[in-house]
Amino acid sequence: MPRILIVNPNTSRAMTDGIAETATAIAASDTEVDVIRPNRGPKSLESFYEYHLAAVAVLEAIEDRADEYDGVVLACYGDPGLYPLKEALDVPVVGVAEASMATATLLGHQFSILVALERAVPMMENLARWYGLDDRLASVEPTGLSVLDLETDEERTLSELAEVGQRALDRGAEVLVLGCSGMSGYENQLTDRVDVPVIDPVADAVTTLEGLLAQGLTQSKAGLWSSPPAKEMRGELPGDGFG
């Protein structure tokens, strides 16, 4: 019976609850799922600056419990602090962005990522190139919906998502990825509207991790994500318990 940890790297309780709902709904019946958020850090993550603050807060949050789990999902689009986790842990760590892009390659020629804000557009284009998957990326589409909008006005949200999704289709996308936690839960309704597969990255990362665990696979320690060497520290920092 696999035990997996889902880490929401921001400190929003509402988003953490939403992630927990999605994750427990999709997980296999014999998978045990824990969902946590850091004790400190930004309420939401929209910049590399916030990504880095959150990354150390996540390290801090898991350093005492990492060995209780068989695998970890990092649950924020953009995969903030993913590589440190892949290095620090021996169990498999899956980012929701990397998982959803990998899955999207199986479902269509090109995919688009729907994001909340204009500013996320270059960040996600950048991420896709970093992952070497930019040939399969049709576009990143900002919805202009704030997190508040996403939570409060379901009908308007769905209309906006469908409109933006259609724009993605016009740019060649055959698959849509919900690149913002707040959009979670709209995937089925959006599929109904635009008639293409819509990936909820949290759900996808959970099943991807379950698949890795079934196969006994974890990230390679032979190169990019080698375990951090033991290292002399000056003073202390949150999350410095690895290495």
Residues 175-214 touching a second copy, rule: CB under 8 A, are 175, 188, 195-197, 199-200, 203-204, 207-208, 210-212, 214
By CB under 8 A, is residue 220 in contact with a second copy? yes
Least distance CB 20 / a second copy (angstroms): 17
List the interface residues with a second copy, window 124-153 (CB under 8 A). 125-126, 129-133, 135-136
Residue 171 interacts with a second copy (CB under 8 A): yes or no: no
Site residues for a second copy, 86-105, by CB under 8 A, read 86-88, 92, 94, 98-99, 102-103, 105
Class of residue 162 by CB neighbours under 10 A (exposed 0-12, middle 13-18, buried 19+): middle
Is the distance from CB of 51 to CB of 20 less than 8 angstroms? no
Q: Which stretch binds a second copy (CB under 8 A): 63-71, 107-115, 144-152, 155-163?
A: 107-115
Residue 189 has what DSSP assignment? H
Residue the block writes with tokens 């998502």: 161
Site for a second copy contains 237 (CB under 8 A): yes
Closest approach, Cβ 121 to a second copy, in A, equals: 7
For residues 75 and 86, is the Cβ–Cβ distance under 8 A? no
Nearest Cα to 4, choosing from 186, 198, 144, 211? Answer: 211
93-95 and 71-74: which strand pairing? parallel
Tell me the number of residues near a second copy by CB under 8 A: 97
Q: Which CB atom, from 47 or from 158, has the smaller least distance to a second copy?
A: 47
Identify any residues that bridge with 142 across adjacent strands, giving them in sequence order. Answer: 115
